[in-house]
Structure 1
């Protein structure tokens, strides 16, 4: 099992999860984080650390968010690893409660 970052992270990018990850499994894009399933050790520390409740065990990802399992795997191959906490994006508070924001994801 691994963990998956879902839509709630888009345009927020809190990095509290990065700070607690013992395996350095997070990868960073412009406005989203992903987890590398190949390095995730399933410790669940990131789930509790995420202030937007964006991280799930892959078996618990809500049905409407299942596309993020493949998206995490795809983007983790291309995006750099992030190992230190950074400030969230400037409009994170606004975007935290917004649903349907997949179209906002910046792939580069």
Structure 2
């Protein structure tokens, strides 16, 4: 099991979770952040600092957002396990499901 980032992060990308993550397993896509399922140690440090409550333990992701469990994992198909987001910086893409979403109202 791992933590995942869901819809409330799309078009927000506050990055408080990225700064709080002790193992650097949260990566920045074009429109949202993603947690690497093989690098996450389930410490939970990211969850309480998310201002939009977008981070869930995989089994606790609300049903309407369950597709984000798959999107977080599949985002890393081409990247593999880079061993930390700081080395890569922002990644110029998103999972196709996220890329296809309409722009979210972040007001």
TM-score bin (small chain):
0.7 to 0.9
How many residues end up aligned between the 2 structures? Answer: 89
Give the corresponding residue for 1:92. Answer: none
Write the distance in 1 (CA, Å) between the matches of 2:48 and 2:76.
Answer: 21
Write the distance in 2 (CA, Å) between the matches of 1:55 and 1:38.
Answer: 16
Contact 1:35 1:76 in 2 (8 A): no
* TM-score of the superposed pair, with normalisation by structure 1: 0.73
Give the corresponding residue for 2:29. Answer: 29
Alignment match of 2:85 (pick from 82, 87, 90) = 82
Question: Structure 2 unaligned runs (5+)?
Answer: 87-99
Give the corresponding residue for 1:18. Answer: 18
Write the distance in 2 (CA, Å) between the matches of 1:68 and 1:104.
Answer: 15
Write the distance in 2 (CA, Å) between the matches of 1:15 and 1:78.
Answer: 23
Write the distance in 2 (CA, Å) between the matches of 1:3 and 1:104.
Answer: 24
Question: Structure 1 unaligned runs (5+)?
Answer: 84-101
Write the distance in 2 (CA, Å) between the matches of 1:6 and 1:78.
Answer: 20
1:28-78 deviations in whole A, cap 9, x for unaligned? Answer: 111100000100010111000100000000010001110001100111344
- Determine which structure has greater relative contact order: mean sequence separation of CA pairs < 8 Å that are 6+ residues apart, divided by chain length: 1
